[in-house]
Amino acid sequence: MASNVSTTMKKYQARLEKRLPEVFPKKLSEDRTVVASLYSLLAGGKRIRPVLMYMFADMLSIDLDVIDDFAVAIEMIHTYSLIHDDLPCMDDDTLRRGKPTCHVANGESFALLAGDALLNRAYEIIFGAVKKHSYTVNAAWFLADCAGINGMIGGQSIDLDSEGKKIDTNKLCELHEKKTGALINAACQIPYLIYAAQSGEDKKLYNLIKSFSEGTGLGFQIKDDLLDVQADESVLGKSIGKDQRDEKSTFVTVFGESNAQKMLDDTYNDVFRALDGLKTMGYDVQDLRLLSQLLQNRIQ
């Protein structure tokens, strides 16, 4: 079974990887900001957000050519956030995806600019998509909202502000819903928003996709926090045990490892229940189910 999802994932990953080297104009290929941007963008990674987006698009029979720009953009936004998070004034990380972080390899100033360039270029691509397909404008707006102060940046801000402080469960959940969850929500819900703009809204469908994406976002973060204490550094490709050292509030540092494991299991129960609901509606969710099992049990 795992080979099925692996094949499906590889198909979508390959579709994305083919487009990523071309996101900047060819004539700027020697520009040092472009070089630094591509250094991080092409460093591999699981490409979970684009893969989820493609899977939901396929589930909803949306033309993948329309999705491509969104898949590329969400990965660029994710990558910029990693580059800026790794900077010395933030997490000061030196290892990412098994390679020196962007600023270690390209210098701090070009890493800063590379983050800016990736974020801005993501929206250039999305405005281009909206020019071609005006019905994607709501999905475009939602992507920006999820990436901004109401979403990922907002979560990062709470995270920074809570370093070295005790924060309560509500704040911890808000932090992670925004920091990790928002962009995963965007990945899953953008295909629905494009579907709804063409075929009309479907409240039941929306609620099930929302339930899946919220569970997947939360589950992703809890698993990340667990891996920080459980993983093998050489497999994970980034430093281990940093959360405790940095006095970060995570599901493990706040609730303890065994409680965090239980929360992960409960969260995935919700995820699989949402998939059952989608199946009952007649949608093919086999790939999504296999991907969820893989995410729940991942070792990196």
Cβ neighbourhood burial of 56 (10 Å; 0-12, 13-18, 19+): buried
Residue 17 or 145 with smaller CB distance to a copy of itself: 145
CB of 170 to a copy of itself, least distance (A): 14
Determine which helix (DSSP H) or strand (DSSP E) holds 100, and give its type and residue range.
strand 99-100
Length of the chain equals 300
Q: What angle do CA 145, 150, 156 make, to 5 degrees?
A: 115
Closest CA to 259 of 267, 251, 250, 248: 251
Residue 27 or 234 with smaller CB distance to a copy of itself: 27
Residue 77 or 290 with smaller CB distance to a copy of itself: 77
176: tokens are: 């992670």
Residue 56 or 142 with smaller CB distance to a copy of itself: 142
CB of 281 to a copy of itself, least distance (A): 28
Residue 24 or 251 with smaller CB distance to a copy of itself: 24
The DSSP bridge partners found for residue 95 are: 100
38: tokens are: 């591509």
**Coil, helix or strand for 96?**
strand
Q: Note the residues at the interface with a copy of itself (CB under 8 A).
A: 24-25, 28, 31-34, 84, 87-90, 108-110, 112-113, 115-117, 119-121, 123-124, 127-128, 130-131, 134, 137-138, 140-141, 144-145, 147-150, 153-154, 156-158, 160-161
- Report how far residue 274's alpha carbon sits from residue 210's, in angstroms, rounded to the nearest whole number: 9
